[in-house]
Amino acid sequence: MSEPPSDVAISFLDPPTEEQWSQIKGVVDQVEWALSHWNYFLILSRLPYAKAVVAVDDQGKCVGSIVFIQPPSPHVSYVGLYNVYENYRGHGIGQRMWKLMKEHTDESRVLAIDSGDMTDKYRAVDFPVPGPTWQKMSGPVAQLNAALQQAIQGQDGRFKIVDPNTVMEEVIKFENKIMHIENPEFVQQFFRVANGKAIVAEDGSVIALGATLPALLQEKQIRIGPLFAENFNCMLVLLNALMRDVKQPEFLIMAPSETEKGRMLIDFLTEKAHSNLESPLIRSYDRPYECPTEWNKVFAMPYHIASPMW
């Protein structure tokens, strides 16, 4: 084991300031996690229920972080961005951060975490209960656009496509109907920084909702999600509208692989757009939890722990 690092202080931030979010982003950048760019942390900085525990050395440098999101509903604490600088590992810093996070989490809340190759480790200790699995896919934007044009064949003219910010009340209603959670703060903040599109029916109600965001550390890639829609054809029209002005040459998307609608999108992307299957993202819980989501309207999820159950 290496020599112990300089004295490290562990602090609870409720909520972190924008400057502290910037420092946490620096920890994330150090391990090159595939997250959205600064907009991701900008969303977090505007949520009153986003909390963090950080490790700071004697020079004032943030060398570790845990972020946990505790929305009013559902009664879940979403844990993420858990990392310690490599040269500070092996000295119990992560354990100290984890302990402080647990001290500031209501014991009645279910803990949830999303992971890839660390899933077995998390399930062996604090998160033994399996949750949903999301399949990540990537590919050329040009190839996806060609497949979409062939699939919809001009049908987009029959749909009214708008900026979600112009119909936010209906957007929140639609999102609540699908997710069954009270999450208006996140929805509002998310669509202020994302490139969003919504499809509205004749009565003004939203029947499809989606967004794209640029990727962190991967300037040539655009992240797609969420994609919520009443049916598959509506989802294709929505996705076509989202991709119309995309400048990045590559895309990344994440679909629920255990649901019918998720499989429909996965099959379309692999068979029609010849997309690549990436490593899945897996959710785990610390105790049994029944997810309330209406999966029959969910085709893709966004890349944000800030969005409970998204």
Mean pLDDT for each consecutive 10-residue tract of the chain (310 residues)?
Answer: 72 93 85 60 83 94 92 85 89 94 93 88 92 93 97 84 97 91 84 94 96 77 94 96 94 94 97 94 92 91 54
| C-alpha to C-alpha distances, 284 to 112, 113, 119, 150, nearest whole angstrom | 6, 5, 8, 38
Residue 215 DSSP label: B
Length of the chain: 310
Separation of alpha carbons 291 and 300, rounded Å:
16
193 contacts 261 by C-beta, under 8 angstroms: no
The answer to whether residues 71 and 177 belong to one domain is: no
User: Which amino acid makes up residue 272?
Assistant: K
The reported pLDDT for the residue numbered 6 is 63
Which of 44, 75, 108 terminates a domain? The answer is 108
The reported pLDDT for the residue numbered 253 is 94
The answer to whether residues 100 and 173 belong to one domain is: no
The answer to whether residues 151 and 86 belong to one domain is: no
Which of 75, 108, 141 terminates a domain? The answer is 108
The reported pLDDT for the residue numbered 214 is 81
The answer to whether residues 223 and 169 belong to one domain is: yes
The answer to whether residues 161 and 285 belong to one domain is: yes
The answer to whether residues 199 and 262 belong to one domain is: yes
Q: Is residue 115 part of a domain?
A: no
The answer to whether residues 163 and 256 belong to one domain is: yes
The reported pLDDT for the residue numbered 34 is 53
Q: Treating both helix axes as pointing N-terminal to C-terminal, what angle do 38-45 and 184-193 enclose, rounded to 10 degrees? A: 150
Q: Is residue 285 part of a domain?
A: yes
Count of domains in the chain? 2
Q: Which CATH number covers residue 230? A: 3.40.630.30
Q: Treating both helix axes as pointing N-terminal to C-terminal, what angle do 184-193 and 168-179 enclose, rounded to 10 degrees? A: 120
The answer to whether residues 101 and 191 belong to one domain is: no
Q: Is residue 113 part of a domain?
A: no
Q: Is residue 308 part of a domain?
A: no
The answer to whether residues 252 and 137 belong to one domain is: yes
Which of 108, 142, 168 terminates a domain? The answer is 108
Q: Is residue 41 part of a domain?
A: yes
Domain that holds residue 183: 133-300
The answer to whether residues 273 and 173 belong to one domain is: yes
Q: Is residue 196 part of a domain?
A: yes
The reported pLDDT for the residue numbered 217 is 56
The answer to whether residues 210 and 260 belong to one domain is: yes
119 contacts 284 by C-beta, under 8 angstroms: yes
Q: Is residue 201 part of a domain?
A: yes
The reported pLDDT for the residue numbered 35 is 53
Q: Is residue 98 part of a domain?
A: yes
The answer to whether residues 66 and 20 belong to one domain is: yes
Separation of alpha carbons 20 and 139, rounded Å:
35
